[in-house]
Amino acid sequence: MAAAKAKQWFFKHEQMDFELQIMLGSCYFGTADAGEILMTAECIRSGDAESWVDGWLETAARVRGYADESVGSGNDVSARQAYLRASAYYAATLSMIDGTDDPGRGADYWKEHIECFDRFCSRLSPPAERVEIPYEKTPMPGYFFKPDDSGGPWATIIFNNGSDGPTVAMWGSGVAGALARGYAALVFDGPGQNAMLFMHKLPFRPDWEAVITPVVDFLVARPDVDPNRIALSGISQGGYWILRALAFEHRIAAGIADPGVMDVSTAVAGRFPKRMMKLLEAGEEEEFNKEMGLALKMMGQETRQTVAWRMKPYGADSYFEWIKASQEYNAREVIKQITCPMFIADPDDEQFWPGQSREVYDALESPKALVPFTREEGANWHCEPKARALYDKRMFDWLASVMPA
């Protein structure tokens, strides 16, 4: 199935338009404010990565100033709200940083984003707990969010980020909705994500059970977590990772994929002409890299920037290595090992993995729900960027039926 082409509202540059829709959708949870978004967008030239980064950086610094001002005057609620927005605006720079003259500064902006997010988390009631989850030689950093001061034990949802989402995005991608319904929530950085990428240079891995099993071990050791009520939610590429993990980790009571991702590699390789696929399958690395380089020169800055951004967390040194690595992220051989109930989001106009939510649903043998999100509802595109309220309603209503808070 060919990737769908949905309406772009703000920029001709598809990725910029998608990112802006994500920002607008996050207003529902206070992660952004519409006026701040739209005024920043006015300063951005479509396809110009430098203007994108400069615009969001200026807005982030201004909103962080609001937060610091509120701290100085003892207004913690205002400070908390502004730190959350500032964190999101610093993070917004990262999606285009590889198209600028100095992509290395992205690590500094990521640190600014996480510092603001820390200040937001410390002002929640109750405050979120910064945690370190034992993992091989490098603990995985994360946050444990508590719905109240009762001490639990709570039903808990693990929110597994995708390939490029900043930590702050997880607030609007499930954490806020979970807390409002009485669930505890855990957010963590796995290999290739956020701190594990920016600070420790650890790349993705396909065998995600090696990541999730330590996370579950960490949770079941906590007296405030009910070990029989742990769910696992994956957004974007997390829709593959959770399938892989759930095939092996059976202590989890429910799984949520937004969307379902059976084969990660098709997001890129699925668009290659037959000649490129033949080179890839034949192992012709030098010729493949040459052809890919020539193609990217013709495709323009948007595609080159996107490829640079997507390659980074795989730790690949060449186009060939990147695509070959992504082909290892395939759940077809293990999906029938999943035993827990599954929620699979299926948005119209899915632009990265069209048709795969249905494929995942059809392959599953456990209790399952395939839940459409339509264009008419304003819920189309990858991960329903403009309709997170509707997503929360449907997902959490389903979860309450299989794993109540």
* pLDDT tens profile 240-259: 999 999 999 999 999 999 99
Q: What is the pLDDT of residue 39?
A: 97
140 in the same domain as 105 = no
153 and 226 belong to one structural domain: yes
Please, which pLDDT band fits residue 5 given cuts at 50, 70 and 90? low
pLDDT tens track for 263-279: 999 998 888 888 899 99
Task: Determine contact, residues 208/241, Cβ cutoff 8 Å.
Answer: yes
Out of 123, 148, 170, pick the residue that ends a domain.
123
Residues 292 and 336 in one domain: no
Element (H, E) at 264: none
- pLDDT tens-place string over residues 56-83: 999 999 999 999 999 999 999 999 999 9
Residue among 84, 165, 71 nearest 118 (CA): 84
What's the pLDDT score for residue 3? 44
Within-domain flag for 4: no
* CATH classification of the domain holding 76: 1.20.1440.110
pLDDT digits (tens, 9 = 90+) for 32-43: 999 999 999 999
Is residue 295's pLDDT more than 90?
Answer: no
Pair (111, 186) in one structural domain = no
What are the two backbone dihedrals, phi and then psi, of residue 223, each rounded to the nearest 5 degrees?
-70, -15
3 in a structural domain: no
pLDDT digits (tens, 9 = 90+) for 126-181: 999 999 999 999 999 999 999 999 999 999 999 999 999 999 999 999 999 999 99
Is residue 358 included in any domain, yes or no? yes
Indicate which residue of 70, 233, 236, 357 is catalytic: 236
**Quick check: is 2 in a domain?**
no
Over residues 81-90, mean pLDDT: 99
% residues pLDDT > 90 (the chain):
88
Q: Are residues 40 and 63 in the same domain?
A: yes
Phi and psi at residue 158, to the nearest 5°? -85, 120
Q: Which of 195-199, 290-294, 359-363 has the highest mean pLDDT?
A: 359-363
Catalytic, 163? Answer no
The pLDDT value recorded for residue 46 is: 92
Please tell me whether residues 94 and 153 are part of one structural domain. no
Q: Per-residue pLDDT for 4 more than 70? A: no
Question: What's the mean pLDDT in 2-31?
Answer: 84
Q: What is the pLDDT of residue 1?
A: 38
Q: Is residue 192 a part of any domain in this protein?
A: yes
The helix-helix angle for 14-25 and 76-92 (nearest 10°) equals 170
Q: Which domain holds residue 298?
A: 266-326
Q: Distance between CA atoms of 208 and 140, rounded to whole angstroms? A: 13
What is the C-alpha to C-alpha distance for residues 159 and 239, in angstroms, rounded to an integer? 11
- Shared-domain flag, residues 367 and 257: yes
State the average pLDDT over residues 87-101.
95
Mean pLDDT (the chain) is: 95
**Domain total in the chain:** 3
CA angle 43, 48, 54 (to 5 degrees): 50
Mark whether 320 and 348 lie in a shared domain: no
Which CATH number fits the domain that encloses residue 159? Answer: 3.40.50.1820
In percent, how much of the chain has pLDDT > 70? 99
Final residue of a structural domain among 72, 92, 123: 123
What Cα–Cα distance (Å) separates residue 29 from each residue in 33, 94, 176, 323?
Answer: 10, 21, 7, 36
- Do 86 and 194 lie in one domain? The reply is no
User: Model confidence at 6, in pLDDT bands (50, 70, 90)?
Assistant: low
- Asked if the model's pLDDT at residue 373 lies above 80, the reply is yes
Q: Stretch 369-380: mean pLDDT, rounded?
A: 97
Q: What 3-state class would DSSP assign to 17?
A: helix
Q: What is the mean pLDDT of residues 347-367?
A: 98
Q: Let me know whether 253 and 381 are in one domain.
A: yes
Q: At what angle do helices 209-220 and 238-246 cross, to 10 degrees?
A: 70
d(CA 241, CA 244): 5
C-alpha 146/C-alpha 156 separation (Å) is 9
Q: Are residues 238 and 333 in the same domain?
A: yes
Look at residue 2 in the predicted model and tell me its pLDDT. 41
pTM metric for this prediction: 0.95
Tens digit of each residue's pLDDT (9 = 90 or more) over 109-121: 999 999 999 999 9
**Adjacency order of strands within the sheet including 225-235:** 129-133, 140-145, 184-188, 154-160, 225-235, 254-258, 342-347, 368-373
Structure tokens at 64: 């962080």
Asked, for residue 1, whether it belongs to a domain, the answer is: no
Answer whether residue 6 is part of any domain: no
Residues 298-338 pLDDT 10s: 877 777 878 888 899 999 999 999 999 999 999 999 999 99
Write down the pLDDT at residue 8.
Answer: 72
Beta bridge partners of 347: 373
Dist CA 282 CA 289 (whole Å) = 13
Residue 228 lies in a domain: yes
Q: Which of 104, 123, 142 is the last residue of a domain?
A: 123
Same domain, 273 and 180: no
